Amino acid sequence: LLTLAGGIRESSPILQMANRLEISDEEWGVIYPILATHKHVRVRCEKQCRSFLVAVLWILRGGMPWRML
């Protein structure tokens, strides 16, 4: 097992949860071209777009109120 900064092990539930909430590069490779070519979606910066989508998915998956975004 690999121990990361702060003493968190790679197999810890915290890191597993964080990985579950991320979009893999493979998933993003499918999603981004759809967003970039959609006429109602404006994409300026790919990195910011990905971060926003991760935040939206975090809200949806966690059942959080939208104002938390």
Q: Tens digit of pLDDT for each residue in 34-47?
A: 999 998 888 889 99
Structure tokens of 63? Answer: 């059942």
pLDDT at 7 over 70: no
Contacts for 29 with CB less than 8 Å, ≥ 6 apart? none
Give the C-alpha separation, 4 to 27, whole Å: 26
What pLDDT score does 1 carry?
A: 44
* Predicted confidence (pLDDT) per residue in 12-33, tens digit: 555 555 566 688 899 999 999 9
What pLDDT score does 19 carry?
A: 61
Q: List the alpha helices (DSSP H) in 22-69.
A: 25-37, 46-62
pTM: 0.61
What pLDDT score does 28 carry?
A: 92
